[in-house]
Amino acid sequence: MTETSNYTVELFGKPLAAMTAMVREVNIAKGWRSADGSTTNSFGDYIALLHSELSEALEAYRDYRLADATAAYDRELERPAKPEGVGSEFADVLIRLLDTCDIYGIDLAAEFERKIAYNWTRAFQHGGRTLSEGVSA
Ligand SMILES: [Mg+2]
């Protein structure tokens, strides 16, 4: 018998679609995307931007570990301060991933569900290529 998840795309597909709509809306409003969906960036540009957010997460970890380093308020600009820290950078990764999938018409919820279903069919620590020194489970 194959193990499976109890979750289905119906559970997270709608929230993901809503989050994608939020990303699309702010990126169009702030000039990062055209309203007609066209882009001057290449696919490679979007991949590089995803990498850059992961690198920012590493730098945030080096500076603050997992602490939220966001200041309470930006008094100079009189607005909420820019979020800083690993959590904020991971949010940037998700924002860029949702944006990239939206631009290229990739149904991330469906791809996620398909990959999770496949992962359930794989052997425990398939391939044996772990990073840790000991068995974790
Ligand atoms: Mg960032």
pLDDT at residue 135, rounded to an integer: 60
User: Position 121: which residue type?
Assistant: T
Rounded Cα–Cα distance for residues 63 and 66 (Å):
9
Which three-class secondary structure state does DSSP give residue 134?
coil
CA distance 23 to 15: 12
Distance (angstroms) between ligand 1 centre and the Cα of 56 equals 6
- pLDDT of 101-121, one tens digit each? 999 999 999 999 999 999 999
Start-end of H helices in 1-137: 9-29, 43-64, 86-104, 108-120
106: β partners: none
The rounded Å distance from CA 18 to ligand 1 centre is 21
54 C-alpha to center of ligand 1: Å?
8
Surrounding ion ligand 1 within 5 Å at CB are 53, 56, 89, 92
Give the model confidence (pLDDT) of 1-33 as tens digits: 557 666 666 666 788 999 999 999 999 999 999
Cα of 32 vs centre of ligand 1, distance in Å, is: 14
Q: Which residues pair with 63 in a beta bridge?
A: none
Centroid of ligand 1 to alpha carbon of 58 (angstroms): 11
DSSP state of 37: S
Using CA of residue 87, residue 43, residue 12, residue 127, what is the dihedral sign?
Answer: negative
Would the pLDDT of 123 be above 90? yes
Taking the C-alpha atoms of residue 125 and residue 72, their distance in angstroms, rounded to an integer, is: 43
> Does residue 24 contact residue 101 with C-beta atoms inside 8 Å?
no
% the chain with pLDDT above 70: 88
